């Protein structure tokens, strides 16, 4: 079976969050089962030494674009200046056009490669379900981002007006890329079983819950995992001291070398957006300052949260505003507790990485967090909040301080959150779509 896997970010070339991790790990694990290649945009900040494989023109509306396809180590890269000459993958006014170009190029590449299946990821690739006529599967990594644009773009992306209806792309008078992709794909997956249920409710459905309920029979939740060779405390070059489960006692040196402390260390790593519950942490900073703990917050995102963090000057609270892969790895290895008070969380990878590195997650049990962290010891041994409020987070942290964190962290290193499990489930689904 031949599969093309399309994503807007693939680690290590580009990564803004979990999508980048998964788009690297999943195809690599699926390569044990099928012939799979990935494709992403060749953003100008991505350096490759790949070869030029194909050049072709494609038209969208009245414009014509020259597409160059490069390849390196099993990944294809689409180059076109409008799509690629940027400083970050998304967040531009013409994203509707940039990703329409990408999707049309991906559809053409799928045709050239004669694949049996096109695997699309999130709204950036969802138009591929419209441009490509073969079989496709769409994975929703975060329903909060749907790619919604004014109806006036329709002609410019060659969208058939007949599909501008409630059953396809139309969403409150606008064009919704993800919605159309859901309608036109043979199967739709999301990244945890609980999130697959949640997005069919008004609370978590981001306006698409009714639409998703209609397509419930083709919607499936497959839990994400992490690449155990990329996330391995025994070999991770970023760490001060490498360790594995049998040398767990060495782990503490990572905290001592990073912060020169033995106090319990609580860590938050993630996008500074409301989804991640960063506002709950901000509301508690003064309380934390008076507690026997260290707190380290790493992230980038909304300016108001970044500013509030920059203004917090307490000796036991450390912040880094920005994206720093090395620091994040050091913190996974150093933390006693990893905080994820998310309001919603499709899957979440941080809690799995923290467990792999011997830390203990403290989570609001929604989405994938409910599927991976338990009060008892079935999965990662962690603590679950009762409700997403600052008071409850504080109470959970106070409770955590009384628990045997080393015992819990040592247990967590034995959990299996590897992407291999996810790959088996995805391949079973691929078989259903392609062969049945």
Residue 274 sits in the site that holds ligand ADP (CB under 6 A): no
Contact string (CB under 6 A) for ligand ADP, positions 220-259, x = contact = ----------------------------------------
Beta carbon nearer to ligand ADP, 104 or 329: 329
The torsion angles phi and psi of 63, rounded to 5 degrees, stand at -100, 155
User: Which residue is closest to ligand ADP by CB?
Assistant: 18
Question: Which span (11-19, 76-84, 209-217, 411-419) binds ligand ADP, by CB under 6 A?
Answer: 11-19
How far is CA 232 from each of CA 26, 228, 305, 354, rounded to the nearest angstrom? 17, 6, 31, 11
Residue 184 sits in the site that holds ligand ADP (CB under 6 A): no
Beta carbon nearer to ligand ADP, 303 or 395: 303
Beta carbon nearer to ligand ADP, 99 or 357: 357
Q: What is the bridge-based pairing of β-strands 187-190 and 219-221?
A: parallel
Beta carbon nearer to ligand ADP, 69 or 143: 143
Residue 323 sits in the site that holds ligand ADP (CB under 6 A): yes
Distance of alpha carbon 404 from alpha carbon 164, whole angstroms: 57
Distance of alpha carbon 39 from alpha carbon 102, whole angstroms: 10
Interacting residues with ligand ADP between 112 and 171 (CB under 6 A): none
Ordered alpha helix ranges (H), 230-366:
252-259, 278-283, 285-289, 303-310, 325-334, 350-356
Tell which one of 324, 406, 420, 425 touches ligand ADP (CB under 6 A).
324
Tell which one of 29, 143, 187, 269 touches ligand ADP (CB under 6 A).
269
Beta carbon nearer to ligand ADP, 291 or 321: 321
Q: From the CB of residue 231, how many other CB atoms can be counted at a distance below 10 Å?
A: 22
Tell which one of 147, 180, 348, 365 touches ligand ADP (CB under 6 A).
348
Helices 419-435 and 18-30, packing angle to 10 deg? 70
Contact string (CB under 6 A) for ligand ADP, positions 280-319, x = contact = ------------------xxx-------------------
Residue 194 sits in the site that holds ligand ADP (CB under 6 A): no
Residue 325 sits in the site that holds ligand ADP (CB under 6 A): yes
Beta carbon nearer to ligand ADP, 154 or 297: 297
Q: What is the bridge-based pairing of β-strands 373-374 and 380-381?
A: parallel
- Provide the minimum distance between the beta carbon of 323 and ligand ADP in the complex, in angstroms, as a whole number: 4
- Provide the minimum distance between the beta carbon of 140 and ligand ADP in the complex, in angstroms, as a whole number: 12
CB 337 within 8 A of CB 308: no
Give how many residues touch ligand ADP by CB under 6 A: 18
**Whether residue 233 has a cis bond before it, omega within 30° of 0:** no
Identify the residue whose tokens are 């008078």: 173
Tell which one of 17, 50, 207, 388 touches ligand ADP (CB under 6 A).
17
Residue 18 sits in the site that holds ligand ADP (CB under 6 A): yes
Residue 328 sits in the site that holds ligand ADP (CB under 6 A): yes
Contacts of 117 (CB under 8 A, 6+ apart): 1, 2, 3, 4, 134, 135, 136, 137, 430, 433, 434
Nearest C-alpha neighbor of 113 from the set 121, 102, 105: 105
- Provide the minimum distance between the beta carbon of 291 and ligand ADP in the complex, in angstroms, as a whole number: 24
CA atoms within 13 Å, Cβ hemisphere of 382: 34
Beta carbon nearer to ligand ADP, 70 or 90: 90
- Provide the minimum distance between the beta carbon of 228 and ligand ADP in the complex, in angstroms, as a whole number: 14
- Provide the minimum distance between the beta carbon of 355 and ligand ADP in the complex, in angstroms, as a whole number: 13
Nearest C-alpha neighbor of 53 from the set 67, 65, 43, 41: 67
Residue 21 sits in the site that holds ligand ADP (CB under 6 A): yes
H/E stretch holding 435 reads: helix 419-435
CA quadruple 56, 59, 64, 70: dihedral sign: negative
By CB under 6 A, name the binding residues for ligand ADP: 17-19, 21, 269-271, 298-300, 323-325, 328, 347-350
């Amino acid at each position: 079976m031949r599969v093309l896997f399309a994503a807007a970010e693939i680690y290590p070339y580009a990564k803004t969050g979990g999508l980048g991790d998964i788009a690297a790990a999943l195809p690599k694990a699926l390569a044990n089962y099928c012939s799979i290649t990935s494709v992403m945009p060749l953003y100008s900040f991505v350096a490759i030494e790949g070869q030029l494989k194909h050049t072709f023109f494609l038209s969208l509306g009245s414009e014509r674009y020259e597409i160059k396809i490069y390849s390196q180590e099993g990944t294809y890269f689409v180059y076109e200046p409008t799509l690629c000459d940027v400083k970050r993958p998304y967040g531009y006014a013409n994203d509707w056009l940039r990703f329409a170009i990408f999707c049309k190029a991906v559809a053409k590449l799928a045709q050239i490669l004669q694949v049996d299946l096109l695997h699309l990821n999130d709204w950036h690739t969802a138009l591929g379900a419209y441009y490509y006529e073969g079989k496709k599967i769409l994975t929703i990594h975060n329903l909060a981002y749907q790619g919604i644009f004014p109806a006036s773009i329709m002609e410019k992306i060659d969208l058939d007006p007949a599909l501008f209806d409630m059953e396809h792309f139309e969403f409150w008078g606008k064009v919704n890329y993800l919605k159309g992709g859901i309608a036109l794909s043979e199967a739709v997956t999301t990244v945890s079983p609980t999130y697959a249920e949640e997005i069919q409710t008004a609370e978590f459905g981001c306006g698409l819950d009714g639409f998703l309920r209609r397509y419930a029979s083709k919607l499936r939740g497959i839990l994400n995992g992490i690449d155990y060779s990329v996330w391995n405390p025994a070999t991770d070059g970023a760490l001060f001291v490498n360790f594995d489960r049998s040398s767990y006692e060495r782990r503490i040196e990572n905290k001592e070398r990073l912060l020169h402390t033995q106090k319990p260390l609580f860590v938050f790593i993630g996008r500074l957006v409301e989804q991640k519950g960063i506002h709950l942490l901000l509301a508690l900073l003064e309380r934390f300052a008076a507690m026997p703990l260290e707190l380290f917050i790493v992230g980038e995102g909304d300016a108001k949260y970044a500013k509030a963090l920059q203004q917090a000057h307490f000796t036991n609270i450390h912040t880094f505003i920005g994206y720093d892969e090395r620091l994040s790895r050091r913190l996974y290895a150093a933390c006693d507790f990893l905080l994820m008070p998310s309001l919603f969380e499709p899957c979440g990878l941080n809690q799995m990485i923290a467990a792999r590195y011997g830390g203990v997650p403290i989570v609001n049990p929604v989405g994938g967090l409910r599927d991976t962290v338990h009060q008892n010891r079935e999965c990662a041994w962690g603590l679950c909040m009762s409700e997403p409020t600052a008071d409850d987070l504080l109470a959970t942290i106070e409770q955590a301080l009384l628990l045997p964190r080393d015992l819990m962290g040592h247990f967590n290193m034995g959990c299996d959150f590897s992407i291999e499990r996810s790959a088996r489930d995805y391949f079973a689904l691929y078989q259903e779509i392609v062969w049945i």
